[in-house]
A and B are shown apart, each in its own frame.
Chain A
Amino acid sequence: MDQEQTCGRQVIIIGAGPAGLTAAYELAKLDDNPIVIEKGDKVGGIARTEDYKGYYFDMGGHRFFTKVEEVNRKWREVLGDKFLRRPRLSRIYYNRKFFDYPLKPMNALLGLGLRQSILIALSYIRWRLRPYPEEETFEQWVTNRFGRRLFRIFFKAYTEKVWGISCSELKAEWAAQRIKDLSLKTLLLSMIVKPKKTITTLIDQFDYPQRGPGMMWNAFKGEVEKRGGSIRLNSEVVAIHNGGGKYIHSVEVACNGQKEVIHGTDFISSMPVTEFIKKLNPPAPPEVLLAAEKLRYRDFMTVCLIVNQADLFPDNWIYVHDPAVKVGRIQNFKNWSPHMVPDAAKTSLGLEYFCNEGDELWNMADPDLIELGKRELEHIGLASPADIDDGCVFRVPKAYPIYDSEYRDYLAIVKNFVSRVENYQTIGRNGLHRYNNQDHAMVTGMLAVRNLTTGEHHDLWSVNTDKEYHEEITGKSEPEIALEAVKEAFAQAFAKLDRLAFGFSIGATAGLLLFLATLFLVVKGGDVVGPNLQLLQQYFPWYTVTLPGSFLGLGYGFLAGFVAGWGFALLRNLSVFLYIALIQRRAERLLLRNFLEYV
Chain B
Amino acid sequence: MAEDEKTLGKVVLTRLLRLNAIMQGVVTGIVAGLGIFIATNWLVLKGGDVVGPHLGLLGHFFIGYKVSFVGSFIGFAYAFVTGFLIGYFIARIYNRIVDVRERQRTIGS
Contact = CB atoms under 8 A, between A and B. Distances in A.
Query: Which of A182, A502, A532 counts the most chain B CB atoms within 10 A?
Result: A502
Given A183-B4, A184-B1, A184-B4, A501 B12 contact: no
Query: Which of B57, B91, B94 counts the most chain A CB atoms within 10 A?
Result: B94
Contacts of A497: 16-17
Contacts of B13: 496
B91 A505 contact: yes
B8 A176 contact: no
Given A135-B2, A509-B89, A498 B94 contact: yes
What is the interface of chain B mostly: helix, strand, loop, or mixed? helix
B97 A495 contact: no
A512 B92 CA distance: 15
Interface string B18-47: 100000000000000000000000000000
A414 to B, nearest CB: 24
Query: Which of B11, B14, B17 counts the most chain A CB atoms within 10 A?
Result: B17
Nearest to A188: B8
B49 interface: no
B94 A580 contact: no
Nearest to B14: A496
Contacts of A509: 86, 89-90, 93
A584 B1 CA distance: 10
B1 A176 contact: yes
Interface stretch (A24-32, A426-434, A454-462, A516-524): A516-524
Nearest to A183: B4
Interface residues of A, number: 40
B3 A498 contact: no
B94 A502 contact: yes
Interface string B72-109: 00000000000000100111111001100100000000
B12 A495 contact: yes
Contacts of B98: 498, 501
Contacts of B91: 505
A491 interface: yes
B93 A180 contact: no
A501 B4 contact: no
A524 to B, nearest CB: 7
Given A500-B101, A509-B89, A521-B60, A179 B94 contact: no
A281 B92 CA distance: 69
Given A494-B12, A513-B86, A504 B2 contact: no
B91 to A, nearest CB: 7
Nearest to B11: A491
A3 interface: no
B11 A494 contact: yes
B15 to A, nearest CB: 4
A453 interface: no
B57 A532 contact: yes
A524 B60 contact: yes
B3 A496 contact: no
A509 B98 CA distance: 16
A296 interface: no
Nearest to A512: B89
Contacts of A506: 90
Given A491-B15, A494-B11, A504 B93 contact: yes
B50 to A, nearest CB: 15
A324 interface: no
Contacts of A577: 12
A176 B3 contact: yes
Nearest to B86: A509
B93 A496 contact: no
A298 interface: no
A591 interface: yes
Interface string A562-594: 000000000000001100100010010001000
A200 interface: no
Given A496-B16, A497-B17, A498-B16, A185 B94 contact: no
A186 interface: yes
B12 A496 contact: yes
Given A183-B5, A498-B98, A504-B93, 13 more contacts: A176-B1, A176-B3, A179-B1, A182-B1, A495-B15, A501-B97, A505-B89, A505-B90, A505-B93, A505-B97, A509-B86, A530-B60, A577-B12
8 contacts: A185-B4, A495-B15, A495-B16, A500-B97, A501-B93, A505-B89, A506-B90, A530-B60
Interface of B: 1-5, 7-9, 11-18, 54, 57, 60-61, 86, 89-94, 97-98, 101
- Listed from nearest, the 10 A-B pairs whose CB atoms lie closest are A501-B97, A183-B4, A505-B93, A505-B94, A495-B15, A495-B17, A176-B2, A505-B90, A185-B4, A491-B11
